[in-house]
Amino acid sequence: MYLENSKTIIVKIGSSLIIDDKKIIRKKWLLEFAKDIRALRKKNKNIIIVSSGAIALGCKKLNITKKKLKIDQSQAVASVGQIELMNLFKEIFAIQKINISQILLTLEDTEIRRRAINAKRTIENLFNLNFIPIVNENDTIATSEIKYGDNDRLASRVAQISDADCLVLLSDVDGLYTKNPKIHKDAKLINKIEKIDQNIIKLASGKTSEYGSGGMRTKIDAAKICALSGCKMAIANGLKERPLSNILDKKICTWFIPEISKLDARKKWIASTLHAKGYLKIDEGAENALRKGKSLLAAGVKSVEGSFKKGDQIKIISKNDKELAIGLSSFSSEEINKIKGHQSNKI
């Protein structure tokens, strides 16, 4: 139900789904996965793929093991592996006539609001061009220790900045269990979690594969981030053929359901600012439009106060200096001074 009702879906693929412990690329699995993506595209879904595997494929290409790598060597191996990873996706997805693009992000790109907005716009333009963005962490310039294959938190950050409805983390397990299913036969799969408390956190296991460093704990952390942005998240077994169809048909996974909607989450985040970077004074027509839930257009702006950049929080005031709203500016104060009072087709 949750997947069917989502417009923008992010799918995260772990390294173990790209390449196995014997360094054999799982081409058959990728071919089936591409069919799933094609099926979702036919339903007019916007898809973003967050894929691990650059370092794993780099190790394969160079015939080395990741255990012997130092951080600076890992960065070089990631550079080699990125080409291998994208060539692999290009080859597989071309069979299904799916166009792909690559986006490399760092932690700062997702946390600094200005960069996040730029990333969001790039993603939206790629959707309009009928391309699927494939996102990976920019390991080649990372300054902290590289997490091999752990893109769970990155995927949740991408979900935030893209206003995604749903994030699916494909792993090597069906979801979160009441106990470790590999040890306890009476372990039961938890189908739905509406609140992440200490009991849920205690269930998380830290076991990983050779290339993956993201255990169940990182997935719980990702679910917390998604919950704050009103995005649903699923943990599902990616080793199944047609893993997304498997979620739709058999419902075997764990869903994390946020307590607030996407819109409420966004509004709470905007409203929580303590200091606005500037003010826009608007006319009566723009004020009436805002009260009806419409966007603020440049034509209704009378004056600009303060200096701010694109993505900064600003306040909207009436011609009588009454505070009307607070929001995120799509332009800098300098740009707004140039376009204020003009119709959109003139800008």
Question: What is the pLDDT confidence band of residue 271, given thresholds at 50, 70 and 90?
Answer: low
Q: Which residues contact 338 (CB under 8 A, 6 or more apart)?
A: none
Q: Average pLDDT of 173-199?
A: 87
Closest among 260, 261, 247 to 189, alpha carbons compared: 247
pLDDT, residue 201, reads 85
Question: What is the pLDDT confidence band of residue 223, given thresholds at 50, 70 and 90?
Answer: very high
Residue 129 has pLDDT above 80, yes or no: yes
pLDDT, residue 192, reads 93
Question: What is the pLDDT confidence band of residue 150, given thresholds at 50, 70 and 90?
Answer: low
Residue 144 has pLDDT above 60, yes or no: no
CA 114 to chain centre: 16
Burial class (CB in 10 A: 0-12, 13-18, 19+), 222: buried
Burial class (CB in 10 A: 0-12, 13-18, 19+), 28: exposed
pLDDT, residue 273, reads 55
Residue 147 has pLDDT above 60, yes or no: no
Our CA angle for 142, 148, 149, nearest 5°, is 110
| 323 DSSP assignment | E
Q: In this structure, how many other beta carbons lie within 10 angstroms of the beta carbon of residue 347? A: 12
Question: What is the pLDDT confidence band of residue 132, given thresholds at 50, 70 and 90?
Answer: very high
Question: What is the pLDDT confidence band of residue 208, given thresholds at 50, 70 and 90?
Answer: very low
pLDDT, residue 225, reads 87
Q: Percent of the chain having pLDDT more than 90?
A: 47
The sign one gets for the Cα dihedral 328, 330, 332, 335 is negative
Q: Mark out the alpha helices in the chain (DSSP H runs).
A: 15-18, 27-42, 54-62, 71-95, 107-111, 113-128, 152-161, 198-203, 216-228, 243-250, 262-271, 284-291, 333-339
Q: Hey, what domains does the chain have and what are their CATH numbers? A: 8-260 (3.40.1160.10), 273-346 (2.30.130.10)
Residue 212 has pLDDT above 70, yes or no: no
Q: Which residues contact 117 (CB under 8 A, 6 or more apart)?
A: 161, 310, 311, 328, 330
Cα diameter, the chain = 71
Full strand arrangement of the beta sheet holding 192-193? 99-105, 131-137, 46-51, 8-13, 166-171, 232-237, 254-256, 192-193
Burial class (CB in 10 A: 0-12, 13-18, 19+), 18: buried
* C-alpha separations of 318 from 30, 40, 172, 270, 295 in Å: 55, 45, 55, 19, 15
Question: What is the pLDDT confidence band of residue 213, given thresholds at 50, 70 and 90?
Answer: very low
pLDDT digits (tens, 9 = 90+) for 257-269: 998 777 677 676 6
Number of helices (H), then strands (E), belonging to the chain: the values are 13, 12
pLDDT digits (tens, 9 = 90+) for 13-42: 988 899 988 889 999 999 999 999 999 999
Residue 135 has pLDDT above 60, yes or no: yes
DSSP for 131-149, please give it.
EEEEEEE-GGG--S---TT
DSSP for 28-59, please give it.
HHHHHHHHHHHHHHHTT-EEEEEE--HHHHHH
Tokens of 150: 């752990």
pLDDT, residue 145, reads 44
Round to whole Å and give the CA distance between 265 and 244: 27
At 249 the three-state DSSP class reads: helix
